[in-house]
Amino acid sequence: MNSSSAVENFPKAAVVETRLSGYDLLLHPGLNKGTAFTEEERDTFALHGLLPPHLGTLEDQLERRMKAFDNQTSSFERYNFMRDLQDSNETLFYALITRNVEKFLPIVYTPTVGEGCQRFSETWLKPRGLFISYPNKNRINQMLADARYDKVRCIVVSDGERILGLGDQGAGGMGIPIGKMALYTALAGVHPEHCLPVLLDVGTDNEERLKDPIYIGWRNKRVRGREYDDFVEAFVSAVKSRWPHILLQWEDFAGSNASRLLERYRDQLCTFNDDIQGTAAVATATVLGAVTATGIPMKEQRIGFLGFGSAGIGIANLLLAAMKESGLSDEEAHKQFYAVDRYGLILEGQTGLRPDQARYAKKKSDLKEWTLSNPEQVSLEDVVRNAKLTVLIGVSSQAGAFTEKIVREMAKHTDRPAIFPLSNPTSKSEAAPADLMKWTNGRALIGTGSPFPPAMIDGKAVEFAQTNNSYIFPGLALGILTSRAKRVSDSMIMAAAKALAALSPTQKNKEASLLPPIADSRQVGLKVAEAVGKQAVAEGLSGVSNEKSFERELREYVWEPVYVPYVRLGD
């Protein structure tokens, strides 16, 4: 985040008041308007000569930047172009995205942000956010104390260990908090000054990064165990002290750390984990869209998973709650789930199972009627054939794991199989949607983690739902901030999922995509925020008194990327 205590008022001011002038004003990405500074502002802020004489508008600048963007020759070049723009003129950056979400989302977020993280060291130029490295563990309070962070209301933090499906990227993982916070603003209107990306640099086990002479992170193997926990505790304690009412989002923490840290801190401050809860909400909304499309009630769905780490468990837990809301008991609902991990179907008694995985383990007696190719390791194909799955969800990062044989087997047992290869980036997807349509004779209901082009089916271009967390986490954050929620409850996550499901085009056309167009993401964010905030009020978790107060707060808060007049403050 680039900001300054010289900025006195935001986010919804009719004018901006600032003490900055000249180069200092132009170099401030939150205040720079480039050629759009008026003649009067150029007089007032000593800008004559620093700008060309042309008096431009935001519309002029959008046209110019769009042309320059289109002239870039690769997605990675476009990613760098947008990062440079964000660091020079935030209003223009966000205006481009909000007016062209479908075009820019794959560049500033998945899948291109993955390459941005891998190549972060070669492109890093300007400070944005905070790198808190392990050697600076005793300086955390000092780093957070800077006056430029006085207005911060929300943080996205990562330790860079599980970046998308790409693994440990060390300090390069900062690309994810930066990208996530950009979508807080672009898709939900959270003011950029309120957002702080943070990277906890505890080293990396990625040998390629450690041997890279230009790697910008702490060149050390990852700190683990008690030292790691103490470091995270020091960070959280410092954050709580600096901002008692902060929203903290955990992002791309690996394995058990993700669920463990969420459970440890979820009752200490207002916090959520997007990989667990955001993924769960968008996946649940997509399944609910499939329920509408197929007419098969939720309680009759048979749901299989490939990959059952923190993301898979998070999805299963929220879908389990939806199953129970449909009338099933906890025991009955659990019977509808089949979790396949690296050693096959999760079974009771397997070594190394975490407690949250063990809840979904099957008894060997449950399989006594099954025909198995290998009773010692029950494969996904065995599960699909014997359980007759109606829904198949992939969060495994195993490219191509949904094979033609598996998909055709699934299509034998259900008229419209719902298949969700959710692993990111595109290179890690369990299947390409065009293949899924081919193998099911066009009957599959599909949601993907990353964007895929439409496929020609019977001479018609078919769009696929992008089951992307960007439908959820920006609106979730906005609802939390504007309701002044003290905690993030499971019911608030479910409210987000239901709000998105209510916007599914299948509500009007059962042949339509399961989720609304990506182009509508900003409107979706506002609907999700409204549902989340109202749920916080209903549960007594809100800092506002009632729904009407929350609705007013929501209307007044949302920031739009437009230029407003500037007034100079005296010294």
- Catalytic residue chosen out of the listed positions 109, 184, 265, 557: 109
When pLDDT is cut at 50, 70 and 90, the band that residue 90 belongs to is very high
- Catalytic residue chosen out of the listed positions 33, 79, 94, 180: 180
- Closest Cα to residue 421, out of 306, 320, 314, 288? 306
The CA-CA-CA angle for residues 522, 528, 533, to 5°, reads 125
When pLDDT is cut at 50, 70 and 90, the band that residue 571 belongs to is low
DSSP state of 570: P
When pLDDT is cut at 50, 70 and 90, the band that residue 8 belongs to is very low
In this prediction, residue 454 carries a pLDDT of 87
Q: Per-residue pLDDT for 3 more than 60?
A: no
- Residue 180 is among the residues annotated as catalytic for this protein: yes
Q: Phi/psi at 198 (nearest 5 deg)?
A: -135, 135
Which residues are CB-contacts of 118 (< 8 A; sequence separation ≥ 6)?
A: 166, 169, 172
Q: What is the mean pLDDT of the chain?
A: 94
Question: Which tens digits make up the pLDDT trace of 547-566?
Answer: 999 999 999 999 999 999 99
For the residues 217-235, what does the mean pLDDT come to?
Answer: 97
Question: Which tens digits make up the pLDDT trace of 260-301?
Answer: 999 999 999 999 999 999 999 999 999 999 999 999 999 999
Round to whole Å and give the CA distance between 90 and 337.
45
Beta bridge partners of 344: 341
Round to whole Å and give the CA distance between 542 and 554.
13
In this prediction, residue 460 carries a pLDDT of 83
In this prediction, residue 246 carries a pLDDT of 97
Which residues are CB-contacts of 9 (< 8 A; sequence separation ≥ 6)?
A: 15, 16, 17
Q: Per-residue pLDDT for 531 more than 90?
A: yes
Q: Check if the beta carbon of residue 242 is closer than 8 Å to that of residue 141.
A: yes
In this prediction, residue 164 carries a pLDDT of 87
Question: Which tens digits make up the pLDDT trace of 23-46?
Answer: 999 999 999 999 999 999 999 999
Question: Which tens digits make up the pLDDT trace of 133-162?
Answer: 999 999 999 999 999 999 999 999 999 999
Question: Which tens digits make up the pLDDT trace of 418-447?
Answer: 999 999 888 899 999 999 999 999 999 999
DSSP state of 350: -
In this prediction, residue 375 carries a pLDDT of 82
Least-confidence region, from 65-69, 77-81, 513-517: 513-517
DSSP of 536-567, one letter per residue?
HHHTT--SSSSHHHHHHHHHHH--------EE
Question: Which tens digits make up the pLDDT trace of 231-269?
Answer: 999 999 999 999 999 999 999 999 779 999 999 999 999
How many Å separate Cα 340 from the centre of its chain? 24
Q: What domains sit in the chain, N to C, each tagged with a CATH number?
A: 16-253 (3.40.50.10380), 277-468 (3.40.50.720), 471-557 (no CATH)
First-to-last alpha carbon distance for the chain, in angstroms, is: 24
High-pLDDT (> 70) share of the chain, %: 98
Question: Which tens digits make up the pLDDT trace of 440-489?
Answer: 999 999 999 988 988 888 788 888 989 999 999 999 999 999 999 999 99
Q: Phi/psi at 558 (nearest 5 deg)?
A: -55, 125
Q: Per-residue pLDDT for 500 more than 50?
A: yes
Three-class SS of residue 141?
helix
Beta bridge partners of 316: none
Q: Per-residue pLDDT for 1 more than 70?
A: no
In this prediction, residue 567 carries a pLDDT of 95
Q: Check if the beta carbon of residue 411 is closer than 8 Å to that of residue 392.
A: no
- Exposed/middle/buried for residue 329 (C-beta within 10 Å: 0-12, 13-18, 19+): exposed
Round to whole Å and give the CA distance between 298 and 22.
61
- Residue 109 is among the residues annotated as catalytic for this protein: yes
Residues 4, 10, 11, 14: what is their CA dihedral angle, to the nearest 10 degrees?
Answer: -140
When pLDDT is cut at 50, 70 and 90, the band that residue 12 belongs to is low
In this prediction, residue 67 carries a pLDDT of 98
* Burial track 157-191 (b if 16+ CB lie within 10 A, e otherwise): bbbbbbbbbbebbbbbbbbbbbbbbbbbbbbbbbb
Whole-prediction pTM: 0.93
Count other C-beta atoms under 10 Å from residue 420's C-beta: 29
Looking from the CA of 22 toward its CB, the CA atoms found within 13 Å total 1
For the residues 79-97, what does the mean pLDDT come to?
Answer: 98
